[in-house]
Amino acid sequence: MPKTIALQSGMSEVASMLRDKGYQVIDIYEAKRPGAKVDAYLYTSYHPDAFNSSLGALEYADVMVGYTSMSYDHQTSPMMMNITGMSPQQTVSTLEQRLGYKDRH
């Protein structure tokens, strides 16, 4: 099953590269719909309102109870990745590296 990546709008080159590699790409707001399963959220800090408090708190809540997101099953904990300043190539490469690490643990 392909990994699902949620992107902020305005990342068309990254979206195209990810689709070419077989990822399912959805808009970050579409990812908020009930039942949506997302493996990673890619965002920039240029849009601080991109996440509401429920999305932004996903990883922080894990830390507050003494666990990190890596300690949970990777199917239930999406990865949050700030790509500010990265080229599309760097973004895709870093995402694949981080997803690969997450899948191994």
pLDDT digits (tens, 9 = 90+) for 13-41: 999 999 999 999 999 889 988 888 999 99
Give mean pLDDT, residues 61-86.
Answer: 62
Q: Which domain holds residue 97?
A: 4-104
More confident residue, 49 or 53: 49
Contacts for 85 with CB less than 8 Å, ≥ 6 apart: none
pLDDT at residue number 103? 63
- The structural domain count of the chain equals 1
pLDDT at residue number 10? 86
What does pLDDT average to over the chain? 77
Closest to 28 in 3D by CA, of 100, 69, 92, 14 = 14
